[in-house]
Amino acid sequence: MAEALYEQEEVCPVCGTRFPVVKVRKSRVAVSGRDSDFCLHYEGVNPNLYTIWVCPRCSYAAADTGFRELADYQKRAVLESLRQGVPYRRDFSGRRTPEVAVESYLLAAHFGRITRLKDSSMAGIYLRAAWFYRELGQVGEEREMLALALQHYRQAYDRESFPIGKMSELTVQYLMAELLRRLGENREAIQWFSRIVSDPRGKQEPQLVSQARDMWYQAREALEKGEGEGKATQAKEVVGGGKEEAKDSADPATVSENNPVAPPPPIARNVSLAENKASRVKVSSMVTLYTDQTEWLKELGLLAGKERPLDLSAVLRVLLDGLMSSGLEEELSQKGEAGLEQVVKKLLVNQRGL
């Protein structure tokens, strides 16, 4: 074998078979480039070729990081599935080609569904399979795997705690946005990219925010040209055989759900907010609150009672409407958090005549 590769004996957690697996020496791995969905390109051997270990006897397959970690109920589920026959037989030992590697990932996904693998882990399997299909030039298969990866990243985002593996919440948001963009769902991709750009936590990940802004421009241009919108692949889970220059335009942080390629028009000052409410569009926006503030909002909801449920978002909307109609935009924009609090308190006191 090449110097970068070496063998190590492993034991199948399902059938107990001892077999050699190929591993890659980290010292011999050299990255030559990276795609916008984190697909790394290597000089020489690609370690992702050997990430999935496959038992040569029962065909059980899983990523190397979790191959040995099989609970009793998972083992029983795998054995029950194997009674119906081994799903796929191939020699995965020795050197692997991209064609062989992608088959190992599909096999790992098959057993991942049986063992109820975490959505984030399933997403990673499908994403890497997509990368190998990309290398092979199989566009349709690549899109199918990207769609499955997106599906599982969505579920992981809703169900799992962060960080997911080594990925922060913003990183997962970015990855979902980029997969949406690659699948032609530019409108939703723009919304996710915009959230990243406007998130205060982005100060801790400036490179990610910069890349999100770049991809926002690409998604925006594609949407304006009408490319790919609504043509995302609806994938079924089965076991089978650069950066562009940013143009002068709307800032990603100002995108609305109703009009994702330009900032929403300002509300006319000669029309009251209440009168203009019918023409306003509600959009979801992520805010970071203190614990005592969220508890206060929950208490408001309890006080409202079941007969008169309180929309907690309405509290923030009403507060913002009050500030927007105060005519103090310039003063408010120049205040820090502490100064802004004083201005709001002053407005409330004057309003109540205290």
Q: Who has greater pLDDT, 250 or 43?
A: 43
Q: Who has greater pLDDT, 130 or 244?
A: 130
Alpha carbon distance 96, 203 (integer Å) = 41
Q: Sorting pLDDT into bands at 50, 70 and 90, what band is 225? A: confident
- Please write down the HEC assignment for all residues of 176-199: HHHHHHHCCCHHHHHHHHHHHHHC
In this predicted structure, the answer to whether residue 81 has a pLDDT above a threshold of 80 is yes
Joined together, the tokens standing for residue 225 give 């040209």
Q: Who has greater pLDDT, 305 or 174?
A: 174
CA distances from 126 to 207, 215, 259 (A): 25, 22, 32
Residue 42: enclosing H or E segment and its boundaries? strand 40-43
16-25, 33-42, 209-218, 319-328: segment of lowest average pLDDT: 319-328
Joined together, the tokens standing for residue 291 give 């614990």
pLDDT tens digits, residue range 27-73? Answer: 889 999 999 999 999 998 999 999 999 999 999 999 999 999 899 99
Helices 72-82 and 98-114, axial angle in degrees (round to 10): 110
Q: What is the mean pLDDT of the chain?
A: 80
pLDDT tens digits, residue range 120-129? Answer: 999 999 999 9
3-state secondary structure of 6: strand
The total number of residues shown for the chain amounts to 354
Q: Which residues make beta-bridge pairs with 54?
A: 61
pTM here? 0.68
Q: Who has greater pLDDT, 243 or 312?
A: 312
Model pLDDT, residue 132:
98
**CB < 8 Å & 24+ apart, contacts of 298-307:** none
Q: Sorting pLDDT into bands at 50, 70 and 90, what band is 333? A: low
- Burial, 109: exposed, middle or buried (Cβ in 10 Å; 0-12, 13-18, 19+)? buried
Share of the chain above pLDDT 90, in %: 57
Model pLDDT, residue 86:
75
Q: Who has greater pLDDT, 292 or 82?
A: 82
Give the residue-averaged pLDDT of 85-97: 85
Alpha carbon distance 197, 285 (integer Å) = 12
For residue 335, how many C-alpha atoms fall within 13 Å in the half-sphere facing its CB?
13
Residue among 63, 145, 56, 59 nearest 112 (CA)? 63
The residue type found at 251 is D
Residue 149: enclosing H or E segment and its boundaries? helix 139-159
Beta strand pairing status for 18-24 and 40-43? unpaired
Alpha carbon distance 91, 100 (integer Å) = 9
Positive/negative CA dihedral, 57, 62, 66, 70: negative
Model pLDDT, residue 182:
97
CA distances from 213 to 86, 294, 295 (A): 47, 30, 34
Give the residue-averaged pLDDT of 226-243: 54
Q: Who has greater pLDDT, 318 or 168?
A: 168
Which one of 138-152, 228-242, 261-275 scores highest in mean pLDDT? 138-152
